[in-house]
Amino acid sequence: MSEVFLKDALVTLKESGVRITPQRHAILEFLISSETHPTADEIYKALEADFPNMSVATVYNNLRVFRNAGLVKELTYGDSSSRFDFVTHDHYHIICDVCGRIVDFHHPGLEEVEHLASHVTGFKVNSHRLEVYGTCPECAS
């Protein structure tokens, strides 16, 4: 399944005029296969053995390219480090207050909430983000 996501993402980048470098390919592949919403530094550390000339700045720059192409969401939380999530569908996050682990969970969309918020406030709603906080099973035991 992740091969389909990778192929589609590469097509999206090519259609956006983005050249596919080995580093971009590796970063994208890492993001697609990751279940942890990694930071740029975590991506860099995971790939540095395969790309010794790649810097953390290269990772950040490529993540920005992916974000601008709509392939990646940048998630910012209280610890001031951005985490990156490969976007394939609408989903929400539950975050451990103890270790910071982020887990995806699926729930029907909140379009009704967006509509109500728009109606009550007069705002034109562009998007929403739902985060649920708690203690993961590992930290709870």
Please state the residue numbers annotated as binding site for Zn(2+).
96, 99, 136, 139
In angstroms, rounded to a whole number, what is the distance separating the alpha carbons of residues 94 and 71?
Answer: 21
Question: Which are the contacts of 97, defined by CB distance < 8 A and separation ≥ 6?
Answer: 133, 134, 135
Binding site for Fe cation, by residue number, is: 111, 128
Binding site, by residue number, is: 96, 99, 111, 128, 136, 139
DSSP assignment letter at 89: S
Evaluate whether 100 touches 46 at the Cβ level (below 8 Å). Answer: no
